[in-house]
Amino acid sequence: MNIHPALQTPTDIQRELAARAKARRLELNITQAELAERSGVSLGSLRRFESTGEISLRSFLELAFVLGELKEFSALFRPLQTVSLFEEAPRPRLRSRKKAPAKESI
C-alpha cells in the first residue's frame, strides 16, 4: 500500500506491518510453521496476522524478535526533546491518588 504515512489509519499500518513481516519471513526462507515454533506464537495467530494484521502486542514483539526487528521498538514513546535552549524542558506531571476519607468506626 502506498499511502503517505500522515494519511494512514491504524488499520492501514497494521496491514502494512503484516505484509512487511511476511516479506521478511520469506526473505529469511522461514516457513510459517518454523516461525510459529521459534517465536512461541501459535500457527493460527501467525496466519491470521499475515492475512489481516490482527495480533496481540506480545505475539507481535515475539515475531519481531525472531525476524531481527525487535530493536526498532525501543525508539517508540521516548520523552520529548526540548526544542530551544531558551525553553524549559517540560516537567513530568506527578500523579497521586486522593486519599479516601477514613471510615468511622462504630
What pLDDT, on the 0 to 100 scale, is given for residue 44?
97
- How far apart CA 25 and CA 20 sit, in angstroms, is 9
What pLDDT, on the 0 to 100 scale, is given for residue 48?
97
**Structure pTM?**
0.70
Using the CB atoms, write b or e for 68-93: b if 16+ within 10 Å: eeeeeeeeeeeeeeeeeeeeeeeeee
Backbone torsions φ then ψ of 3, nearest 5 degrees:
-100, 140
Is residue 64 within 8 Å of residue 74, measured between CB atoms?
A: no
User: Consecutive sets of 10 residues in the chain, 106 residues long: mean pLDDT of each?
Assistant: 75 94 97 97 97 96 95 84 67 74 68
- Rounded to 5°, the CA angle 16-21-22 comes to 100
